[in-house]
Amino acid sequence: MKSKYAIAAALLLSISAFAQKDEIKGLKKIIEKDTPPTKEDFQKFRELIAAGEPKMATATNEQKADFYYYKASGATTEMMLNPMVLANLQQASKLIGTAVDDMNKVIELERTGKKEHTITIKEEFLPRLKGLVGTIAAQLVDQKMYKEAASLYQIAYKADTNDKAQLYNAAAMAVNGQDYDNALEYYLELDKSGFTGEGTVFVAKNKKTGQVEGFPNKASRDIAVQAGEYVEPKEEKLPSLKGEITKNIALIYVQKGENDKAKQAMAAARKNNPDDVSLIVSEANIYYQAKDMEGYKRLIAEAAAKNPTNAELFFNLGVVASTSDIAEAERQYKKALEIDPNFEPALVAMGSLVLTDEKKIVDEMNGLGNTAKDNQRYDVLKKQKDGLYLKSLPFLEKAHKLKPDNQYTISLLAGIYQALERNDDYKAMKAKMKA
C-alpha cells in the first residue's frame, strides 16, 4: 500500500508539473507574440495567472522564475497599452508595486542559477517601471495624495535600490502625508546608507516649450543639444542633503514625542559636522519645539557666533529675550537690522516692542478721575502714549512697504493711526484688513 501511495503521489506531482509548463507556455506565447496583445489576450493572460499561481509552491525555481517574469511583463505591457488602467492612479500604483515585487522575485530566484531573465529585467523592465512611477507619482502629488505618492516612490526604490533619491522622495512625501512612521523608516535607511544627494544635474532648455529639463547624463544632454532640440546647456550642482535628513529624523522624533531620541540624533549629526550652522539651528528648533527655551537660546547664540552676518539668528535671540528682558530683545533686534535694514520680521518686532508699555499707560489713563490733577496727569500720559506710537511708526511703515499684505502689521498701523487721529491713514489701513 505504501508503494502504491508513493506512486500515486508522484503521478500527481508529475501532472501538476505538466500543468505548470502549459500555463507558462501560454503566458510566454501572449507576451512574445509579434503584434501587441489584444483585450482577449489580456483576459486569457489573467486566467492563466489565476490558474498557475497556486501551483507555484511545487514548481521548480526555473519554472517560478519564468512564471513571475511573464506575469510582471504582462502587467507592465497592459499598463503601457491601456490608458484606462493608468487613469486609476491607486489601481496603477498597486499593479506597479506587484510587478516590481515579481521582477525582484525573479532576480532572487536566478541569483544562484541560470540568469534567463535577470539582465532583461535590470536593463529594460525596471527602468521602464521607474519612469512610469515618476509619471504617476507626480500626478498623485498634484492631487495632494502624498501617502500614495510616497508608496510609489518607495516602489521605484525597490526597482533600483542604488537610486537612493527615490527613497528620499518617498520620505519627503510621507512627511507631507503625515505618515511619520514610514518617513522615519525611510530617513533612517538613507542616513545609514550614507546618502547625501550631492551630484551634478545636466540640464538644457527645450526649444519648443521653453522649459528647462534634466538629463540622466552629460552625453544624452549633449546629443539633444546637437540635434537642435535643446539650447543653453548647463551643469547644476546639487547640495548635500545629509543635514536635512538628520534634521528630519530628529523632527519626526519630536513629532512622535520622543524628544530624547531627537536630541541624540541631532547631537550625532553635529558631532560629524561641528561647524554646520544649519545643523545648530535645526538642533535649536528641536529644543524650541520641546519648549526648552534655555537650550534653544544657547544654541542660537552659538550659531550667531559662528555666523555673525545672519540677521535671522539675532532676530531669533530677540524673540526669546522678549518674554523676559525687553532691553536685551531690543539689542538683538537692532543687531539684526544693522545686518539687514530690510529684515521685515525684525522691523515688525521692533515696532511691537516699542509698544510694550502701551497697555500700562492706557490702563492708568482709564483709571483717572476728572479732577484738575487727574486731567494734568492724563495729558502727561497721553503725550507718553503718542510718543510710543510715533517711535513705533517708522519700523511698522517700513515693514508694511516691504510686505504690504502682512495682516498683523496692517492691524497695528490701523490702531496707531486711529489713536493719533490720522483718519485718512486709518481708513487706508482699515480697507486692507481682511475679515
Q: What DSSP string describes 207-243?
A: TTT--EEEESSHHHHHHHHHTTSEEEEEEEEEPP-HH
Listed in sequence order, the residues at least 6 apart from 301 whose beta carbon sits closer than 8 Å to its beta carbon are: 317
Domain ranges in the chain are 2-161, 199-238, 308-432
pLDDT, tens only, 290-333: 788 888 899 999 999 999 999 999 999 999 888 889 999 999 99
Nearest CA to 45 out of 3, 79, 13, 14 is that of 79
Q: What is the dihedral of CA 289, 295, 298, 299, to 10 degrees?
A: -50
pLDDT of residue 406: 94
Q: Is the C-alpha dihedral spanning 410, 411, 413, 418 positive or negative?
A: positive
Pair 254, 290: CB distance under 8 Å? yes
Q: Give the residue with greater pLDDT, 356 vs 276.
A: 356
Q: How confident is the model at residue 88 (pLDDT cuts 50, 70, 90)?
A: low
Pair 99, 129: CB distance under 8 Å? yes
Task: Give the least confident one: 76-80, 135-139, 173-177, 201-205.
Answer: 76-80
Find the mean pLDDT for residues 411-428: 94
What separation in angstroms does the CA of 396 have from each of 320, 333, 416, 432? 21, 14, 10, 15
Task: Report the interhelical angle of 372-402 vs 344-354 (nearest 10°).
Answer: 180
Q: How confident is the model at residue 378 (pLDDT cuts 50, 70, 90)?
A: very high
pLDDT of residue 82: 66
- One-letter amino acid for residue 255 of the chain: Q
- Cell output for 217: 547624463
pLDDT of residue 89: 67
Q: How many CB atoms lie within 10 A of CB 409?
A: 26
Q: How confident is the model at residue 24 (pLDDT cuts 50, 70, 90)?
A: confident
Pair 202, 230: CB distance under 8 Å? no
Buried b (16+ CB within 10 A) or exposed e, 202-214: bbbbeeeeeeeee
Q: Does the domain at residues 308-432 carry the CATH identifier 1.25.40.10?
A: yes
Task: Report the interhelical angle of 293-306 vs 311-321 (nearest 10°).
Answer: 150
Q: What letter would DSSP give residue 117?
A: S
Find the mean pLDDT for residues 117-137: 82
pLDDT, tens only, 203-260: 899 888 888 888 878 888 899 899 998 999 999 888 888 878 888 898 898 888 888 8
pLDDT of residue 304: 92
Q: What letter would DSSP give residue 96?
A: H
Task: Give the least confident one: 182-191, 269-278, 286-295, 388-397.
Answer: 269-278
pLDDT of residue 18: 39
Strands annotated E in 108-239 = 199-206, 212-215, 230-238
pLDDT of residue 20: 55
CA distance 8 to 2: 10
What separation in angstroms does the CA of 225 have from each of 209, 230, 237, 380? 14, 5, 20, 76
pLDDT of residue 87: 60
The gap between the terminal CA atoms of the chain, to the nearest Å, is 91
pLDDT, tens only, 146-201: 998 898 898 888 888 888 989 999 999 999 999 999 999 999 999 999 898 888 88
